């Protein structure tokens, strides 16, 4: 497995975790109508962050399962960008500051690179 994928996964993980910090500021649970407020939001993120970090370990170990985790993380980054751009286009005020937009845009770029690298490793025998 490519050593490059490890570093791309790490960068994307940092971007997505930073986005989730930003999401707490913007009360994303209201945007997506999630129950439980901040408590529910934080509880949801315990397993999410565990799996993101566990996936990094699996990618480092060059396991096939690491490629699956990498695929899921890259698709999550694409979803984050797309969903938030949709809400912005619908007139929502959240995530419009330059840093929020930078994190989302960087996540899009890194997620695309990660997706391409991951699919290349998954599809080449």
Inter-residue contact 66 to 59 (CB < 8 Å): yes
pLDDT at 125 over 80: no
pLDDT one-digit tens code per residue, 10-50: 999 999 999 999 999 999 999 899 999 999 999 999 999 99
Q: Is the dihedral of CA 64, 9, 42, 27 positive or negative?
A: negative
What is the band of 90 on the pLDDT scale with cuts at 50, 70, 90?
A: very high
**What global pTM score does this model have?**
0.93
The CA-based angle 53-16-4, given to 5 degrees, is 65
Residues in the chain: 125
Digit-coded pLDDT (tens) for 48-72: 999 999 999 999 999 999 999 999 9
Residue 41 CB contacts under 8 Å (≥ 6 apart), including other chains: 23, 24, 28, 29, 34
**pLDDT for the residue 1:** 62
pLDDT at 30: 92
Residue 106 has pLDDT above 90, yes or no: yes
| Domain edges within the chain | 3-123
């Amino acid at each position: 497995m490519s050593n490059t994928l490890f570093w791309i996964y790490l960068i994307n993980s940092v971007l997505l975790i930073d986005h989730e910090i930003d999401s707490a500021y913007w009360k994303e649970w209201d945007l997506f109508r999630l129950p439980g407020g901040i408590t529910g939001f934080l509880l949801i993120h315990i397993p999410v962050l565990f799996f993101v970090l566990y996936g990094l370990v699996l990618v480092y170990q060059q396991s096939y399962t690491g490629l699956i985790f990498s695929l899921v993380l890259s698709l999550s980054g694409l979803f984050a960008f797309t969903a938030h751009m949709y809400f912005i286009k619908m007139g929502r005020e959240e995530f419009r500051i330059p840093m929020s937009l930078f994190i989302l845009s960087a996540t899009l770029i890194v997620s695309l690179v990660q997706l391409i690298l991951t699919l290349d490793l998954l599809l080449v025998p």
